[in-house]
Structure 1
Amino acid sequence: MVDFDPRPALDQLAAEYSKRAEAIRRDLGRSHSPDFAEQAQQRQNDDVLRALLAEAEAGMRLVGLARLRLADGTYGECARCGEAIEERRLRALPAAEHCLRCADAVD
């Protein structure tokens, strides 16, 4: 178990991911130029925005999973090996689900 309350950090992360996703969705919803060359560039930019949106949504899922672990009392336990996740790691990455050793092995 960890000696700090990760809820404020998780709340902040959730808010940041949500704000980012909302802004990206707004950008994706804008109309494109009638000029073909410019439209091609805009569509290419849309591909980048979709990738950024996927990252923000993945971050929101990780925060949600961390909140579930908090609720069931498993927050701070590595999902792979079951050992405690280093508090330094959790302070830096509040939604971390793996200890450093397992994170290196998973990546």
Structure 2
Amino acid sequence: MSQYADIAEQLRERLGALLERAEVIEDDLRHPLDDDWEEQAIDLADDEALEGVDEVLRAEIAQIRLALLRIENGTYGTCSNCGAEIDRKRLEARPIATRCIKCAA
């Protein structure tokens, strides 16, 4: 069992929740536009905001998937910049961290 099994479980739970939210947003974005021009303008403005939220979700999803991959291949917890071990407390606070606190500063 990996020393980061608990963090991996938290990441998988977060990933599941984000994927569900992203699916809801994508469903909302697929709706047909109303015939009314004013309603279309409102819908397009709403869609633009939703697209921004979707981009943020997709970026976090990608970061979580990469963190899970690092756990799987044994590189999780190693700073990508200096190669030092990332403090466990940092990983618990920010499980997608790729750099130690010194390199992140």
Contact kept in structure 1, 2:79 and 2:85, CA below 8 Å: yes
Shifted more, 3-12 versus 42-51: the winner is 3-12
- What's the TM-score once normalised by structure 1's chain length? 0.84
Q: Is residue 2:76 matched to residue 1:68?
A: no
Cα offsets for 1:28-79 (capped at 9, x unmatched): 0112221112211210111111111111111111111111111221101121
Matched residue count: 103
In the alignment, the residues of structure 2 paired with residue 90 and residue 43 of structure 1 have an alpha-carbon distance, to the nearest angstrom, of 39
Off by >4 Å, runs of 4+ in structure 1: none
In the alignment, the residues of structure 1 paired with residue 100 and residue 17 of structure 2 have an alpha-carbon distance, to the nearest angstrom, of 24
Identity %: 33
CA-atom RMSD in angstroms: 1.7
Give unpaired runs (5+ residues) of structure 1.
none
Correspondence for 1:30: 31
Correspondence for 2:40: 39
Aligned partner letter, 2:53: L
Contact kept in structure 1, 2:4 and 2:71, CA below 8 Å: no
In the alignment, the residues of structure 1 paired with residue 33 and residue 93 of structure 2 have an alpha-carbon distance, to the nearest angstrom, of 39
- What's the TM-score once normalised by structure 2's chain length? 0.85
Give unpaired runs (5+ residues) of structure 2.
none
Correspondence for 1:10: 11
Aligned partner letter, 2:18: Y
Aligned partner letter, 2:93: A
If asked which structure has higher relative contact order (CA below 8 Å, sep 6+), I would say 1
Contact kept in structure 1, 2:22 and 2:57, CA below 8 Å: yes
